[in-house]
A and B are shown apart, each in its own frame.
Chain A
Amino acid sequence: MLLMGEVRTGLLQNSGEIPESLCQAVLGLLSGERVRVSRRPIMYAVSPDQLTGVDCRLASASRARVRGVGTVLSRASVTGGRVLQGSSHIRVVRAGSDHRLSWSHYLARPGVVEVFGKVRVPDLVEGFAESGAWNDCLDLGSVSERFMDAVQGSPLLDRKAPFKSARTRLRWVAVSAEREPGHEPGHEPGHEPGQEGPGIRFVLGRDRVRTLRLVLPGGLTPGVVDFCEDLALHDWLLTTLQVIFERAGVGTATRAEVTARLAPAVDHLLHLWMPAARLDDEFTPFWERLERRPGFSRQWLSLVARVRDQIAVNTLALLREAGGW
């Protein structure tokens, strides 16, 4: 029926970026399973998949009681030896029975949550994207957060982050533009995702919460998780660089102070911008859409230019003070 997930993104608590071998060690959350590492075009290491069992309500816009049982699929990843992400998602399907089955049934379907009774997809989409986790509803963010914490808690990290930054949350939900097989036309008038064309809706919310709604042209492929993680990563980079620039006190602080406050961005962030580096081709159009509006790379390049200009101006000032010219 639909896929939903939540990605949390933050700075790895270590003074410098960590090398590949250390990435493998801190992400090795499961014995007997290798951490996968990709080096081009940027170092990216991802933990083995982890499962968490859930049996709870799913948020719905109509506040209908929707019960889901199954497993959440999670993974942690480190990009550029510097940015840590915890990502969890589920595939929601209708249960074939009216009662909870033995746990082995759900474990045979990793990452699937089965919902009981009559469920309307748009109701779940709106509920999850808008309200997220109410008190007792499915809380994918906390699951993601725990896997991040497990990595941050590694004794191999020195816990001396070079600058302060906050974690961002990206809550996403994806449906397919294709009709489900066996779907009766007119069954859910007006709101069926099959009536919409492919599209993307990205909303910056309060408290660093972002929501992303996707209507995919084809089926619900696993590549959508990579896309959402990639988007979350770049949104975090942009958010974090913005905060660093705001705090630098351009115009009020001394030039030396401004440079010192901007230096961590140069040391740790500027080289990490690589949108759509590892994505399936089918997701390129979504990135292109986001590049047009709101224009992620445009804003990033503009910020990077400002950081560099500030540093250049300061260098010139220092040279002048030193009587160089």
Chain B
Amino acid sequence: MTPAQAVFGEVEAERRVASAPLSHVSIELGHLYMEDFQAGPDRLREQFRQVAPWAETMRRSWQARVPGGRARVSTCFLIDDYFSRFSTPAELVPAVLEAAAECDLTIDYLARESACAETDGVKLARLVEDRLVTDPPAGTNGSRPPVTETGWLCNGARSPYGGAVQAMESARAWEPPAQNAKRRHSIFVDVELWDSDSRGRTWSCPFLAAVWQLLRLGLIRNDGELPVRPVPGGPPFPSDWEELPAIVQLNPAAAPFSAYSTMSVLSSRFLPVELAVRTILSQVFVDAEVLRQVAGRSAGEGVPLPDELVDRISYVFLGA
């Protein structure tokens, strides 16, 4: 008798990880806060007018890179409904779309910022917070839990604080904080992730923006599933933000929402926010299986990606 091969498997013992449909690049055409809305429709039009050439440049550069010029490019627009609620989708969305169309821009996907905190019962921000692996200062050998300040995340070692100095003791001289990956001099960054009051936790703008980048890069999973899928939608839009899906697909012919890389065209007032976002994203541990999937597919298409996910994110910062 020849030896028989036995194969035994158990479903509960295996991990299954869904893969996301991916474009080559996801371009963020804008991020609308209440103050922009209050500044009137001209502000929005001006913003789109400035963004349009950069979006076109990005599209062309990917067309040149991808064999046959068949670059998959999707565009998105984020509306803040988390820190302040203003207007209604029925009123606002058509105005945004109209302003974009005047500058020959198509918004493929529209997303609500509150979706980055929680969507369809999935606490995305918590999911990402659980995956923070803090950047260890030199001398971290695992013997003690990582030093953390609840609700904060930094890129080095904080300046030691004196605490209550006893009357007889001389106050300790100030010592500087230090960046872990410094090149001689430090640029120390300490980011507030959230604060809380009687109504519960409020995530900070950089933290939600970090979740937003991870969503656009297709790197978040909940129990192996994609936590948010764009829902096709169009006019008429609802009169309540809650009734608008987290991500609405406005253009039926759009390339997938998530992409190998992202590009955001932003006002330079967002520069500190994005530094904070990169500080956070540098410390997020993305599922190794998801990273393998994305790397495998991009390599298969002949567009190898950088290993570090912060290197997959690019920006254009515009003057005020």
Residues of A within 8 A of B (CB): 30-34, 36-40, 49, 51-57, 69, 71-72, 88, 99-105, 107-110, 133, 136-140, 142-143, 146
Given contacts A55-B138, A56-B140, A108-B291, whether A102 and B10 have CB atoms under 8 Å apart is: no
- Pick the residue among A57, A104, A133 that contacts B281 (CB under 8 A): A104
CA distance A4 to B142 in the complex (A): 14
What are 23 A-B pairs with beta-carbon distances under 8 A?
A31-B126, A31-B127, A32-B221, A34-B15, A34-B223, A36-B12, A36-B14, A38-B10, A53-B134, A54-B140, A55-B136, A55-B137, A55-B138, A57-B141, A71-B133, A88-B142, A102-B181, A107-B283, A107-B308, A110-B285, A136-B139, A138-B142, A142-B144
Interface assignment of B200: CB less than 8 Å from any CB of chain A: no
CB of B142 within 8 A of CB of A54, answer yes
- In B279-295, which residues have CB < 8 Å from any A CB? 281-288, 291
CB distance from A28 to the nearest CB of B (A): 11
Chain A: minimal CB distance from B236 (Å): 35
Does B146 contact A32, Cβ atoms closer than 8 Å?
no
Assess whether A31 is in contact with B123, with CB atoms less than 8 Å apart.
yes
Total CB contacts across the A-B interface at under 8 A? 119
B127 contact set on A, CB distance < 8 A: 31-32
Q: Mark B133-167, 1 if CB is under 8 A from A, else 0.
A: 11111111111111000000001000000000000
Other-chain contact of B141, A33, A71, A137 (Cβ < 8 Å)? A137
Contact of A108 with B181 in the complex, beta carbons under 8 Å: no
Within 8 Å CB of B131, what residues of A?
30
Give me 9 other A-B pairs in contact (C-beta within 8 A), A55-B137, A107-B283 excluded. A39-B12, A54-B136, A54-B142, A55-B136, A71-B133, A103-B135, A103-B282, A108-B308, A139-B142
Take A40-B8, A102-B282 as given contacts and tell me if A53 and B308 are in contact as well, using a CB distance cutoff of 8 Å: no
A contact residues around B130 at 8 Å (CB): 30-32
Q: How far is the CB of A215 from chain B (nearest CB, A)?
A: 26
Give the A-binding residues of B (Cβ under 8 A).
Answer: 8, 10, 12-15, 122-123, 126-127, 130-131, 133-146, 155, 180-181, 183, 221-224, 227, 281-288, 291, 307-311
Q: Which residue in chain A gives the minimum CB-CB distance to B221? A: A32
**CB-CB nearest in chain B for A142:** B143
Q: Is the CB of B288 within 8 A of A110?
A: yes
Least Cβ–Cβ distance between B1 and chain A, in angstroms: 19
Contact B142 A38 (CB under 8 A): no
Q: Which residues of B have CB within 8 Å of A102? A: 181, 282, 308, 310
Query: A31, A38, A39: which has the most chain B beta carbons within 10 Å?
Result: A31
Closest-by-CB residue of B relative to A101 is B181
- Evaluate whether A143 and B142 lie within 8 angstroms (CB atoms) in the complex, with A55-B136, A108-B307 already known: yes
Residues of B within 8 A of A146 (CB): 145
The contact of B181 among A33, A34, A103, A142, by CB within 8 Å, is: A103
What are the residues of chain B within 8 A of A34 when measuring CB–CB? 15, 223-224
Interface contact A38-B13, CB-CB below 8 Å: yes
Q: Indicate if the CB atoms of B141 and A133 lie closer than 8 Å.
A: yes
Are A107 and B137 in touch, CB under 8 angstroms? no
A56: which B residues are within 8 A, CB to CB? 138-142
Chain B minimum-CB-distance residue to A20:
B12
Residue of B nearest to A278 (CB): B13
A194–chain B nearest beta-carbon distance, Å = 28
- Compute how far the CA of A37 lies from the CA of B183 in the bound complex, rounded to whole angstroms: 46
List residues of chain B with CB within 8 A of the CB of A71.
Answer: 133, 285
Q: 7 tightest CB-CB pairs across the interface, nearest first?
A: A56-B141, A53-B136, A38-B13, A103-B135, A104-B282, A108-B307, A104-B308
Report the separation of the CA atoms of residues A137 and B131 in the bound assembly, to the nearest whole angstrom.
Answer: 25
CB distance from A49 to the nearest CB of B (A): 8
**A111 closest partner in B (C-beta):** B288
* B136 neighbours in A (Cβ, 8 Å): 53-55, 69
Are B12 and A37 neighbours in the complex by a CB distance under 8 Å? yes
Nearest B residue to A38 via CB reads B13
Inter-chain contact B183/A99, CB cutoff 8 Å: yes
Find B223's partner among A32, A40, A49, A143 (CB 8 Å cutoff). A32
Q: How far is the CA of A133 from the CA of B143 in the complex (A)?
A: 9
Please determine whether A51 and B15 come into contact, CB atoms closer than 8 angstroms.
no
Partner of A52 from B10, B133, B137 at Cβ < 8 Å: B133
